[in-house]
Each structure stands twice: as C-alpha cells, then as structure tokens.
Amino acid sequence: MWSANPAATFSPEATTKLKEYPWPGNVRELENAVFRAVALCGNVVRPDDLPDRIRNYRAPQQECAALAESHLPPKGQEWPALSEIEGRYVARVLAHTGGNKQAAARILGVDRKTLERMIKRNNLTVDGGTRAISRAS
C-alpha cells in the first residue's frame, strides 16, 4: 500500500499544515491524506500536495486573530474598552461552536466556569433551542 514514493519527505510548511488540522476522521483520514500527498508529489510533499480542506484549514484561534487585526480602529480613533472586545470575542466563539459552551471554553483556553462568568459579565444569552447568541437588554 505504501509503495508510492518511499523516499518522499515533508516540507516544514506541509508538516505544519498536518499538525494544525484537527483530523475529525482520525488516523484513517491522516493516512489517506499522507498517501495521496506522497503519490502526487515528487520527492518533497508541499502544502499544494495536500487536500484542499487541510491546506486551507484555519484554526479558530487564527480566525479570531485575523478578525481582531481587521477590526482595529484607524490611527487616532478611540479604541474600544477591553470588556467590549471580550464580549464580542466570547459571542463570536460561542456562535462558531453553535452555543456549545464546552467547545467554546476549550477554544478560549478557559474552563467552563470561567466562560459562564464571562457570559454573565457581558450580558450574553445562549438560547438553548436555536443556539442564538445575543446581548441581554
């Protein structure tokens, strides 16, 4: 099965892409992606040899960092308060996880109790039925 190109190596960029991808299909998905990449490459597997879903994957933290960069105020304009940024960030992560607090806490790097305090502090509500995230009035 693994005779496509036994001498193939992986570029650092391709290795990084493979490490960053969450692998929802576990070992089989990884095995298939590696086999395909090795079959398509010359001697070195590069990001272009990887499947699109792996090559184009952006971790939620990367998405949030890019979002933060794109929403910085122009020079000379007033910056929002940290509490406002926190509220928007928490709401965005909760929306990304469909209201799954455990997953949101993992992405935010906090435990679930801390997330609950952040939700309360920022007057956010998570509607259990539709998983809508909103600010309480």
Distance of CA 57 to the CA centre of its chain: 8
| 3-state SS class at 62 | helix
pLDDT value at residue 127: 74
Distance CA 111, CA 125 (A): 18
Distance CA 76, CA 94 (A): 31
Asked if residue 41 belongs to a domain, the reply is yes
Name the pTM for this structure: 0.43
Asked if residue 126 belongs to a domain, the reply is yes
pLDDT value at residue 41: 82
pLDDT value at residue 119: 94
Asked if residue 100 belongs to a domain, the reply is yes
Same domain as 64, residue 123: yes
Same domain as 98, residue 45: no
The whole domain housing 19 covers 9-55
pLDDT values of the chain reduced to their tens digit, one per residue, 137 residues: 445 566 788 999 999 989 888 887 788 888 988 888 888 887 899 999 999 988 888 766 666 666 666 667 777 888 778 888 899 899 999 999 889 999 999 999 999 999 999 999 999 988 754 444 656 55
Same domain as 114, residue 75: yes
Same domain as 66, residue 50: no
Pairing of strands 9-10, 44-45: parallel
Rg, Å, the chain Cα set? 20
**Phi, psi (degrees; rounded to nearest 5) at 127:** -75, 115
Same domain as 114, residue 78: yes
Tally of domains within the chain? 2
Distance CA 137, CA 132 (A): 15
Token couple for 88: 């928007």
Whether 8 and 45 have beta carbons less than 8 Å apart is answered as yes
Same domain as 43, residue 66: no
pLDDT value at residue 20: 85
pLDDT value at residue 74: 74
